[in-house]
Amino acid sequence: MPRADEMSPRTKTEETILKFYTLLMTKQFDAWGELFTDDATQENPFVPDLKGLDKEFSGKERIVFHYRTVLTKRRGHVFTIHDIHESEDGNSVIVEANGKSEVPETGRIYDQRYVMIFGLRDGKIASLREYFNPLVFQKAFEGFLVGDGAIKH
């Protein structure tokens, strides 16, 4: 599987999607935020039901704040891409990806398989639904504060 930063986009939409991953890998959060519409939404349906963990984020600023908070301390964050499925009109994209990084707070490796469904409007990300294995999440992050409003669990 190729790393997101080693892939060449085949379409404008795919270029936006690959930037989503490569800018996160390099922690360029301000540039990453410019990929979103101001009213963008993100849903994480499989986030564990723990106090302080949000399943939904509304607005570009809120989404960027969350990712900046969660990823700033991570080390060696790499996304590899299994496949990108783009609709004919370029407004819907499904990505099968893997994300791997070290979680300094626990010393564990977070190695997660994702399915992400992107909705685009005027070339920008307007919605994102992120599916992942909550057991992998809990194993890597258990016992420390995760997210901007989380409590120790």
Average pLDDT value for residue range 63-75: 91
Rounded Cα distance, 99 and 101, in Å: 7
> Is 119 a member of any domain?
yes
Instruction: Kindly report, residue by residue over 92-134, the tens digit of the pLDDT.
Output: 999 999 999 999 888 999 999 999 999 999 999 999 999 999 8
Structure confidence at residue 126 (pLDDT): 99
In this structure, the number of other CB atoms found within 10 A of the CB of residue 89 comes to 8
> Is 150 a member of any domain?
no
Q: Are strands 108-121 and 92-103 parallel, antiparallel or unpaired?
A: antiparallel
Q: How many CA within 13 A on the CB side of residue 100?
A: 9
Specify the pTM.
0.90
> Is 70 a member of any domain?
yes
In this structure, the number of other CB atoms found within 10 A of the CB of residue 31 comes to 11
> Is 146 a member of any domain?
no
> Is 149 a member of any domain?
no
> Is 58 a member of any domain?
yes
Q: Find the range with the poorest average confidence among 1-10, 57-66, 120-129, 139-148.
A: 139-148
Instruction: Kindly report, residue by residue over 14-58, the tens digit of the pLDDT.
Output: 999 999 999 999 999 999 999 999 999 999 998 877 777 788 999
> Is 151 a member of any domain?
no
Structure confidence at residue 153 (pLDDT): 39
> Is 18 a member of any domain?
yes
Rounded Cα distance, 99 and 26, in Å: 13
Instruction: Residue 48: give the domain boundaries.
Output: 4-141
Whether the CA torsion 140, 134, 18, 72 is positive or negative: it is negative
Q: Which residues neighbour 43 within 8 Å (Cβ) at sequence distance 6 or greater? A: 55, 56, 127, 128, 129, 130
Structure confidence at residue 45 (pLDDT): 94
Q: How many domains does the chain have?
A: 1
Q: For position 87, which CATH number holds? A: 3.10.450.50
Burial of 110 (0-12, 13-18, 19+ CB in 10 A): middle
Residues 112 and 100: beta-carbon distance below 8 Å: yes
